[in-house]
Amino acid sequence: MNTNGIKKIAIVFVLGAFLAGCRGTTSEKTPIHPNMNMDQQPRKEAQEENNFFEDGRSMRQPVEGTVARGFRKADLAYYEGVDEDGEWIADAPVEFTQSFLYRGKERYEIYCTPCHGITGDGRGIIMTGGYGYVPAPTFHQDRLREAPDGEIYSAIYNGVRNMPSYAHQIKTEDRWAIVGYIRALQASQNATEDEILEFDVDLDELKAEYETEQARLAELQEARTASQGEVVATAERGKQVSTEWACQTCHSLDGSVVIGPSWLNLYGSEGQVVTADGETITVTKNDEYIIESIVNPYAKVTEGFDPLMANAYGSLSEADLKSLVEYIKTLSDN
User: Does residue 9 belong to any structural domain of this protein?
Assistant: no
Q: Which residue has the higher pLDDT, 64 or 94?
A: 94
Q: Pairing mode, if any, of strands 300-302 and 280-284?
A: unpaired
Q: Looking at 191, 225, 258, which one is the last position of a domain?
A: 191
> Looking at the domain assignment, is residue 139 inside a domain?
yes
Looking at residue 245, what DSSP letter applies? Answer: T
Residue 11: pLDDT above 70?
yes
**Residue 67 confidence (pLDDT):** 85
pLDDT over 90 at 64, yes or no: no
In a domain, 29, yes or no: no
Judgement on whether residues 184 and 83 belong to the same structural domain of the protein: yes
User: Does some domain include residue 11?
Assistant: no
What is the total count of domains within the chain? 2
Residue with the larger pLDDT of the pair 23 and 211: 211
The C-alpha atoms of residue 46 and residue 60 are separated, in whole angstroms, by 10
Indicate if 187 and 260 belong to the same structural domain.
Answer: no
How confident is the prediction for the chain on average, in pLDDT?
Answer: 84
Question: pLDDT confidence of 140, banded at 50, 70, 90?
Answer: confident
pLDDT at residue 18 tops 70: no
| pLDDT class of 295 with cuts at 50, 70, 90 | confident
pLDDT at 132: 65
Q: Are 112 and 288 in contact (CB under 8 A)?
A: no
Q: 259 and 187, same structural domain?
A: no
Give the pLDDT band (50/70/90) at residue 63: confident
Among positive and negative, which fits the CA dihedral 314, 156, 180, 76? positive
pLDDT, average across residues 146-163: 91
pLDDT of residue 327: 93
134 or 74, which is more confident?
74
| Same domain assignment for residues 182 and 243 | no
- pLDDT tens digits, one per residue of 155-208: 999 998 778 899 999 999 999 999 999 999 999 888 788 888 888 878 888 888
Phi, psi of 271 (to 5 degrees): -165, 165
Distance CA 70, CA 280 (A): 47
Question: For residues 17 and 48, which has the higher predicted lDDT (pLDDT)?
Answer: 48
Determine the Cα–Cα distance for residues 104 and 175; give it in Å rounded to an integer: 8
Question: What mean pLDDT is predicted for residues 148-160?
Answer: 94
Average pLDDT over residues 7-28: 67
pLDDT at residue 111, rounded to an integer: 94
Q: Is there a domain that residue 120 lies in?
A: yes
Claim to verify: residue 174 and residue 241 sit in the same structural domain: no
| Model confidence, pTM | 0.59
- 77, pLDDT greater than 90: yes
Whether 325 maps to a domain, the answer reads yes
DSSP state of 133: P
Helix pair 172-189, 98-111: axis angle to 10 deg: 90
pLDDT for the residue 21: 59
Per-residue model confidence as pLDDT tens digits over 232-263: 789 999 998 888 887 888 898 998 887 789 99
Query: 191, 219, 250: which is the final residue of a domain?
Result: 191
Assess whether pLDDT exceeds 80 at residue 224. no
Helix (H/G/I), strand (E/B), else coil: 282: strand
Nearest to 112 by CA among 30, 36, 178: 178
Say whether both 85 and 184 belong to one domain: yes
CATH number (domain holding residue 106): 1.10.760.10
Domain annotation covers residue 149: yes
183 shares a domain with 88: yes
Task: Give the range of the structural domain holding residue 251, as residue numbers without chain letter.
Answer: 235-329
Same-domain status, 240 and 299: yes
Which pLDDT belongs to residue 36? 67
Last residue of a domain, one of 163, 191, 219: 191
Element of type H or E holding 61? none
Structure confidence at residue 37 (pLDDT) = 67
Asked if residue 72 has pLDDT above 80, the reply is yes
Is residue 221 a part of any domain in this protein? Answer: no
Task: Quote the pLDDT of residue 309.
Answer: 76
SS3 content of the chain, % helix, strand, coil (to 5): 45, 5, 50
Q: Which residue has the higher pLDDT, 293 or 130?
A: 293
Same domain membership, residue 185 and residue 241 = no
